[in-house]
Structure formats: structure tokens, C-alpha cells
Structure 1
Amino acid sequence: MENKLLNQEVQHYINANLHTDLHALLLKKSPFPEVSAQEIVQQIKGRQVAEKKFPFLLKEGIIFPPQLNLEQSSSEKTAFYKSEIIKGEKFIDLTSGFGIDAYYLSKNFDDITLVEQNTELLEVVEHNWSVIGKKANFVNQKLEDFLLENKEHFDTIYLDPARRDHQKNKVFLLEDLSPNILEIQEKLLSISKQVIIKLSPLIDLKYLISVVPDIFRIDIVALKNDVKEIVIFLSNEKVNEIKCYCVNLESGESPFNFMFREEENARSEYSEPEKFIYIPNNSILKAGIFNLVSEKFGLKKLHPNTHIYTSSEKKENFPGRILEMELIDSKSIKKKSQFNVISKNHPLKPDEIKKKYGLKDGGEYYLIFTQSKKGKIILKSV
């Protein structure tokens, strides 16, 4: 690839402007005839993203791709999680992108292949892997063409399909992704015993199970209670049940796993609020296991459509927040008080509640506006 960005003076200029206003920098003329202001800003943005998403790439000589490629990349933390559960000898990433997932996933494999149709992006990845001392086979080819010509078998195939259409709009259905997973799933399973696909956190799990018959595992991966990705595992060995793992990284919470049929058979008990209130983390809420949570942890729900639970005695190891709370009347809410406001199954949103009651945001205490079977209620932490 071109080495103009690796020029020592260019690198020094980039480092000196890491905290400069990028809009102003774009309007200035580049001091280097062979490197544009846009290219310099792209590298600065890349380092800013890397500080938060993949700090292992903050090394001298690393080159960053355009912003869209950075946004579509997994974070170092979610990639590391996947690397802990995926092992084998021969690995291929058919949509390598910027290669963050491939870098981590390939740590447990001896033979590594990265396929990427974007020539410039693949050159960046190949260069960066040489900087960090990582070897792989780099294939610059469209996935569909590679599959037509391929004669090899792999222990694990990994894909992260593009989730934007030709107009750059986000898409979520499998048939709208690039590649179309529904069209190639049989081909993938003919050359590998395990196929792993990263999908949008917004995808509907019931839809997913209905259109991909070979799923045997689904991981819902959240980072600090923000669901980042849905990861599905396909196998050519038929399974009767699908296991799901709900993971909330960097929360201190234990992963929660279950079989999907368990939710179908589970039943909730209901109660007005008791001493302790439980709010499941977002990976649990995404899984939709509202009755199973009640049953597994011995908790009671407040209302069929309120996914908040309660108990008189504290239940440990719950995957979410546990708050000691009491029922209050709206008249007892003092203006300018400071609260973290939560609204669940309530007509007003948190910002509307704060405005109505003149509340400040934040602090140690919580206010929950919700519903029990008796109607609307307000809970305050004690």
C-alpha cells in the first residue's frame, strides 16, 4: 500500500493535531503535497475511535480506514468475548472489513484466511497485521466469487454482513444484507462444520429462528448494558434445541443462558412492589424471557407488560440492577431534587417526567415510574 501516511513528518503532524478541531483542520491546506487534509483527518478520527473501541491498534505505523469502516468494526471487548468461545485449526473470515473480529478470533487457529472485496481496505488490514506481527492469507475477492471457486474446508467460517443498502440506509432482514445469508447458508455449511454470523442488535430473534433452520446457539452481547450485537452459530449437525447466552460485558454480572423452549413453559407470579426491585439488563430484555426470569430467580412481576420484578428478600446474582425501594405519592416529589429517572410501561418518558416534576438528572437515587396490576405507581430508592 502507499506509504505516504507513514512518513515521519506526516505522523508527527497527525500526533500534534489529535485534539485539534477537525472541521478547522479540514479547511486548512495540508502542509504535505502528497497527503490531503482529508487523509490527515481520517487518520486522526481513526485514532480517536481506536482509543475507545480497539486500543491495541494505537501503535506506531498503524493506518486507519474511512469512518464507515471504523463504525462497522466490532469493539475490542466484544471481539475478545467471541475469541474466548471459538477455537479450531482452520479459520476464515469471509467479510473481514477492518479485521478486528478476525484478529481476535484467529488467535485460537493455526491457519487463517481473510476475504475482503474492498482492495484498499484489505491493503490497510494486511499492512496493519504486519505491524502487529500477525500472519494470514489475504484474499481480495467478492465473497460470492470466492465461494464459487473454493475447494477447501474450514473448521469455522465467520461473517459480519454489511447492514446498509445501496442508498446507505440501514437494513436488518437477512435477505437484505450483503451477502444475503439465506441464499448462501447451505453452501457455507457444506464447507464448514460451524458458521458464525454477527448481526444487528435490532434483529428480531423469533424471525431469525424462523428463517435460519441450522441455528444451534445465539449470543446476545451487551457492553455496559448496551446490546452491541447478536451472534448466531450454525451447524450442519441437526439440533432439537437452541441455546441462548445473555452476556453483559464489563458489568460484573454473570452470563445467563437458557433454552428457548424454557420461556414457553415458564409462568410468572405477580405482586405489588416489595422491598427489592429488579430491572433485568438489556441482553435479558432483548431475549424476551420475561416469565423465565421470574421463575429462575424466584421473583414476582409487577404487571404482565412491566418487565420489573420484586421480592421481600434480596436475591443475589441477578443479571441486572437490584434496588431497595419504597412506594411514594407524586406529591412527595420535591422540585429540584436529583434522581435517575426510569420509566417502564408508563405513558411519560423520563425527560417528560423530569420536566413535569422539575427534577435534576443523576445522583445516587432512583425514581421509577411504572405500573403494577393495580395501576400507575412511583417507586423511590431508599
Structure 2
Amino acid sequence: MVKILNKEVQNYINANLNIDLHTLLLKKSPFPEVSMQEIVQQIKGKQVAERKFPFLLKEGIVFPPQLSLEQASSEKTALYKSEILKGKKFIDMTSGFGIDAYYLSQNFVDITLVEQNTELLETVENNWNILGKKARFINKKLEDFLRENQEHFDTVYLDPARRDQNKNKVFLLEDLSPNILEIQAQLLSISNQVVIKLSPLIDLKYLISVLPQIFRIDIVALKNDVKEIVIFLSNETYHAITCNAVNLESGESTFSFTFGEEENAQSEYSEPEKFIYIPNNAILKAGIFNLISEKFELKKLHPNTHIYTSDQKKESFPGRIFEMDIIDSKSVKKKEQFNIIAKNYPLKPEEIKKKYGLKDGGSHYLIFTQSKKGKIILKSV
């Protein structure tokens, strides 16, 4: 690590931030003690940091291999979680690159990071020293730490590795590292609040079926891209599981509900009225299609079309709102420019553009979908 921080090496890295990395890898390193692979790793790290965690774009910061960068939370999602958690003692038991730990520990006094990868933990410790952040760094396997630990924490945090030994992505809790199902009792024996970050692809009903101590689930999207599922476990008894559909940097309010409400909710159906609503992806991930209809007094177009409509505009709806008219397919003229949306429709947007000879983009929208009466085309006003 000391070698990569050499001033000449750092100057070379900064001078090559925009060069093609494949071309750079074919070159010989100008530094005998630092390989070109190590140099490219730092360049990739800076490129990722620019869009994902810009607070690390400081002199002296070191970046880990690509896999650790991929799983690390973005600055925005980590900041969201930090606003929820507070207390005295915090521990991140799978600290990885430490982005979540850095932000989540803002409201704690005593901070502990556990990481089995020695080189990765040394990288995090170096970076935290640069940032002026203090913590206790423990280089151990999580299982060994749990066996030896005698402390109690206000919050335990984990972000399990989501790749198997062959580096394939895995999603079930028993396939993660560590296996959450095996250690959940141990985790809850050292803290009354265990917070776990999981893949956005994981099934919510599955989680509840295998983790009875869940009392809260947050579906966290950033600019309408679902980034993570965050679950909260506790030894305390809760009568219902609170769920929050969050869409950061969208200007939309968080939609909160209790798990199970969807089963009792009902939708009314209608042909398109003046306003059309498309839920954000956090809502879609939650699967609360009837509940959204009921809560916002909207009508659905079709049981399998998750598009809603009303005559009066519902400003607080968590998603996109359009004022639209139904048009005939003959009204779609070639070479016109539209943003194409296809929902519950046999053709994909690219196929629609090809069929009608449309250009992509512009400020107007065409929605190809179905109501109970059949296929329809909606055009923004």
C-alpha cells in the first residue's frame, strides 16, 4: 500500500484517469515495485468513486479490487441508512470497503469494523485515517468473532457477500457469506437491532418466511433504480412489519405500509381518464399494486397493467404522472420523436419504434399498454 501512495505513482494515476484501461494494461509499468494491474485498480477505483462515493476523492485514499467496489453501497444509499440509526455502540461485521460503516457510524460513539480480508481492512483503516475517522478494526472471520465476543452493541450491521466460490451471484440467505440463517440467533444475542443489506432481487415474502424476527423492510431505490433491500431484526415483538418504499433523489415521498395490507386491498378498474400514473420501481418491487390504487383513490387499467388513472391529479403519487389522451395507431406518424413506454404489451419499446418508424427521445411520451377492453396507445398532452 505504501508503494501505491508514492507521489510519482499517484501523479501517474491522476494523469491517466481518462485513458483506455485495456490499452494501459498492455503497457509496462514505469515503476518497478508497482504493477500496471495495481495502477489500473486505482484508476478504476477513482472512476467508480466519482459517481458512487465522491467523498473518497482525496489524496492518500486507496481503492480495493473491482468486486469490493461493486458491492459497496453508494454514498447516497449509505447516507439514507445513517439517518435511521443511532446509539452508542455500532459494529459492522462484514465491513468490506467500509462505505456503509463510515456513514452509519455518524450517530454512534464506539465503532467497530470486522473484516476477514486483511488487505481490504488495511485499505479501509488507511482511508479512515485520511478522513479523520476513528474506529476499532478487527481482522477476523465473522464466525470467529461471534464465538469470542463478549460485548453487546446497540446496532449490528451486515452486508453479506453475494457471490459464491465461483464468483456467481447468489440471492438466498443460506447461500450468502455469512449464512444469515445459521447466525441470526447469535446476532440477536449481542444486539437488539440487527440491520442487513441484501440484493434488490431478493423476494420479500421469502425473507419474512425464513426470518421471523423481521420488523422492518426498506426498499431503497436511487433515481428509480432499486439498489438494495434493507431488513431490520429485533428480539422485541412487533404486531406488524413496517415496509418503506424509498426513491432517493426523485423528489417523491417515501410510501410506508405494513406487510399484508396488499392482501386486503382492492382496485377499481377504468379506461384511461385525464391523468396516468406509473409507480416508481420501489413500489413495483413491493408488489403493492392494489394498495396503491386504494390509498391514492386511483383506478387501474387492467389487473396485469400496473398503470393507474384519475380525473383529478394526485400530486403526492410516488412515481411518474402524465396528462394523456388515447390515440389511434393510425395517428402515430413515422419519424416522430417520442419516449416509448410498454407495459403489459406484446411488443418491447425497441420493437415498437421499429414497427412505427419512430425516433427515440424528445419531451413527449407514448405508452403502449392494455386496459380491460384491450390494447391501447396513450399520448402525452
The aligned residue for residue 289 of structure 1 is 288
> In the aligned structure 1, how far is the partner of 2:207 from the partner of 2:40?
39
Letter in 2 for 1:163: R
Secondary structure at 2:344 match in 1: coil
Measured after TM superposition, the shift of residue 24 of structure 1 is 1.1
Q: What secondary structure does 1:379 align onto?
A: strand
TM-score under structure 2 length normalisation: 0.99
Secondary structure of the equivalent of 1:4? coil
- Tell me the number of residue pairs that the alignment of Structure 1 and Structure 2 aligns: 381
Are 1:133 and 2:157 an aligned pair?
no
Partner of residue 193, structure 1: 192
Aligned residue for 1:221?
A: 220
In 2, Cα distance between equivalents of 1:226 and 1:273: 27
Whether 2:148 is the aligned partner of 1:149: answer yes
Worse overlay, 256-265 or 124-133: 256-265
Give the 4+ runs in structure 1 shifted more than 4 A: none
Distance in 2 separating the partners of 1:335 and 1:110: 63
1:82 Cα offset (Å): 0.2
Written as runs of structure 1 = structure 2, the 5 A alignment for 1:65-214 is 65-214=64-213
Superposed displacement of residue 261, structure 1: 2.5
TM-score normalised by the chain length of structure 1: 0.99
Residue identity opposite 1:20 in structure 2? I
Does structure 1 residue 348 correspond to structure 2 residue 347? yes
Instruction: Give 1:359 deviation, angstroms.
Output: 1.1
CA distance in 1, matches of 2:93, 2:315: 42
Whole-angstrom distance in 2 between the partners of 1:115 and 1:125 = 11
Structure-1 separation of matches of 2:289 and 2:150:
46
> Is structure 2 residue 42 aligned with structure 1 residue 43?
yes
Following superposition, the deviation at residue 358 of structure 1 comes to: 1.1
Identical positions, percent: 82
Equivalent in the alignment of 2:297: 298
**In structure 2, what residue type is equivalent to 1:87?**
K
CA distance in 1, matches of 2:171, 2:89: 29
Deviation digits for residues 166-199 of structure 1 (CA, Å, limit 9, x no counterpart): 1111011111111111111111001101000000
Between the aligned partners of 1:355 and 1:176, the Cα distance in structure 2 is 42
Residues 33-85 of structure 1 deviation map (CA, whole Å, 9 limit, x = unaligned): 11111111110000000000000000000000001110110000000000001
Amino acid in the other structure paired with 2:181: L
Letter in 1 for 2:205: K
Q: CA deviation at 1:362?
A: 1.2
Distance in 1 (CA, whole Å) between partners of 2:21 and 2:318 is 41
Deviation, structure 1 residue 262: 1.8
Please tell me the residue identity of whatever aligns with 2:54.
Answer: P
Structure 2: runs of 5 or more not aligned: none
How far, CA to CA, are the matches of 2:296 and 2:3 in structure 1? 59
Alpha-carbon separation, structure 1, partners of 2:172 and 2:360: 37
Q: Distance in 1 between matches of 2:361 and 2:172?
A: 37
Q: CA deviation at 1:337?
A: 1.0
